[in-house]
Amino acid sequence: MAYELYYWDGLQGRGEFVRLALEESGADYVDVTREPGRGTDAMFALMKSESEPHIPFAPPFLRDNELIIPHVANILFYLGPKLGLAPEDEGLRHVANGLQLTITDFVAEVHDTHHPIDTSLYYEDQKPEAKARSAAFIRDRIPKFLGYFERVLRQNPSGPQHIVGNGLTYVDLSLFQVIEGLTYAFPKAMAKRKGEYPTLLALHDRVAKRPNIARYLASPRRLAFNEDGIFRHYPELDSAE
């Protein structure tokens, strides 16, 4: 049976980190909420089920036959070895998972730049606080996270081509997405700082050129960034400091 990915329709969001792994490996998968006749109702049916043994808290989640697996890092930890996108070594798999969880934290902070107070309100209802949080994010958090990934790449004993081990993993694909998203959301901040992370940017560029990824990015399956997703471009939140 094909893997079933459940995520909000109409945006890249957190689901995109899973899609990139499925697309790179050419896996057979269904993006359930985009299927005619299924849609978001199919996702809610699982989340609200009173009989499912393992209900997820929130999308994205993956269904593999009877098993329902929630959370991006957990899905990728599960899929990685099956898709040939995880290190062979068991210990290195936990290193990969640790890196992915650092990306998870970073992505949550990106989300909070436009929703610092209340996720149930619109961005427009928390604009001054969003501006303050974005200023701190650009000043402290972008350099802290990107500087970290740059260091990890340079210190990889197998070489700076990949973030962990000597082959492509799902973490490399996720780092591509982080750079894409930040460049969309904070173009001025990124234009100013990009030069500080040459190894990370080179990884981003190599991932973009991989045949399956390039084909996916050019396909209608890759939605454009927009202001419903995690990475949003509100010009008033962006700055070169």
Binding region for its own copies (CB under 8 A): 50-58, 61, 66-71, 73-74, 77-78, 91, 94-95, 97-98, 101-102, 104-105, 108, 112, 116-121, 129, 132-133, 136, 140, 145, 148, 151-152, 155-157, 164
Cβ distance to its own copies smaller for residue 61 or 176: 61
Q: What are the backbone dihedrals phi and psi of residue 156, each rounded to the nearest 5 degrees, phi first?
A: -60, 120
Q: Which is nearer to its own copies, 106 or 213 (CB)?
A: 106
Q: Which is nearer to its own copies, 129 or 238 (CB)?
A: 129
- Residue 18 CB, nearest distance to its own copies (Å)? 13
Q: Would you call 207 helix, strand, or coil by DSSP?
A: helix
Closest CB 153 distance from its own copies, rounded Å? 11
Q: Which is nearer to its own copies, 83 or 213 (CB)?
A: 83
Beta bridge partner(s), residue 29? 3
Q: How far apart are CA 235 and CA 194, in angstroms?
A: 18
CB of 71 to its own copies, least distance (A): 4
- Closest contact distance (angstroms) between CB of 148 and its own copies is 5
Question: Minimum CB separation from its own copies for residue 25, in Å?
Answer: 19
Smaller CB distance to its own copies: residue 14 or 213?
14
C-alpha 75: how far from chain center: 12
How many Å apart are CA 196 and CA 192, to the nearest integer? Answer: 9
Shortest spacing between CB 237 and its own copies, in angstroms? 13
Chain center to CA of 167: 19
Looking at the Cβ atoms of 39 and 98, the one nearer to its own copies is 98
Dihedral, CA of residue 56, residue 57, residue 60 and residue 66, to nearest 10: 0
Residues with Cβ < 8 Å from 59, sequence gap 6 or more? 6, 7, 8, 14, 15, 43, 47, 70
Of all helices (H) and strands (E), which one includes residue 61? strand 61-64
Please report how close the Cβ of residue 212 comes to its own copies at its closest, in angstroms.
Answer: 25
Q: Compare residues 132 and 208 and give the one whose CB is closer to its own copies.
A: 132
Q: What count of other Cβ atoms lies within 10 Å of the Cβ of residue 81? A: 13
Residue 175: partners with Cβ closer than 8 Å, 6 or more residues away:
103, 149, 163, 200, 203, 204, 207
